[in-house]
Every structure is written in C-alpha cells, then in structure tokens.
Amino acid sequence: MTKIIGLTGGIGSGKTTIAKLFEAEGIPIYISDEEAKKIMSLPETVKAIETVFGPEVILNQQIDRKKLAAIVFNDETQLKVLNEIVHPLVKKHFEDWVQAKQNFPFIIKEAAILFESGSDQFCDKIITVTASQETRIKRVMQRDHVSEQEVLERMKNQWSDEERIAKSDFVIENENFESAKVKFYEILKILKNL
C-alpha cells in the first residue's frame, strides 16, 4: 500500500521548493493548490461557485480569482462555504491519483491547509516546512506582487507554525536552502525505510 506523506507549511514557507526536491528524486507529488485551481476551472465547479457567490465572481465563464479571494479571505464563513464546494472535488481527484500511483512506496501530498482541511487524517506521516514570518512575507510579496497587508490577511486563515509542528512527524526549517536540503535528505532516508 502506497504511503501518503503530507507536506505542509504556512504561505511563503517554501513548501514548493521542498516538493521539487522530492520530485527530483522521482517521487510523485500532488500539489493540492494547483489541482484545486484546475478543478475550479471546470464548468461544473464554475457553475456551483456562481450559484453561491453570484455572477460578479465570474469573468468570461471562469472564476475571477481576485474577486473571489477578496470575498473569502476577509470572511471565514464565506471561506468555509467555498471549501465545502471545492474540497470534496479535490479529495476525489486525489484518491484517483493515489490509485494510479500504487507502484510507488510513498507519494507526497503538498497542501498549505493540510490540517485546516482535515486532510492530515489521511496521511501516514507529515512534514511541516517553516520559515520566519518576516521571510515568508517577503517571499509572498515578491512572488504574488501583493502588499504586506494582503499577505498578513492570508496568514490569518492558516494555522501557526507551532500548531502545525505539534501535529507533524518532521520539520524542515527553510530559512536557508542549503540547510533545508540537508534536513530533506535526512527525512528522505527515513521515509524510504518506512
């Protein structure tokens, strides 16, 4: 049975960087956010979101991500509603994906909100990637071309590093890529022997 290893961390912690290291080792990676974006562009998902959030969040038959984000990142109830539409679809997609990867000893499920969505309960082991808040804010501002305030708003909807670490099997401090890489290879060795 293929083991599911959860890979999580706050926005800007460098989860994707660590995921790429796994990928370079030939380990299948499921990037939840990317898959969710694909699922959100399916006509049936667009329709469901339009029904709930109204036509103002739709632009050229697609979801206007900026408008939808403005609604859900400032309102916990609305975020919960959106997650109730998208999460079951992503969960089903992930289950099908895992079925197709049964010849691998383990796969990586990268998800920013692994704990918040309850997906952690389906993981055999969990790795949390951390970095200082200052570093994370800087990374996200550069990557997404957003203000510090917008980054802090997004962070507000995620668990703290302390909460994540308390429920994780491994932690990779990703302040410095070289030391993060060393820790990655230590963990990889352990996972290969599960």
Binding site for ATP, by residue number, is: 12-17
Decide: 127 and 174 in contact? Cβ < 8 Å.
no
3-state helix, strand, coil in the chain (%, to 5): 60, 15, 25
Binding site, by residue number, is: 12-17
Q: What is the DSSP string of 56-122?
A: GGEETTEE-HHHHHHHHTT-HHHHHHHHHHHHHHHHHHHHHHHHTTTTSSEEEEE-TTTTTTTGGGG
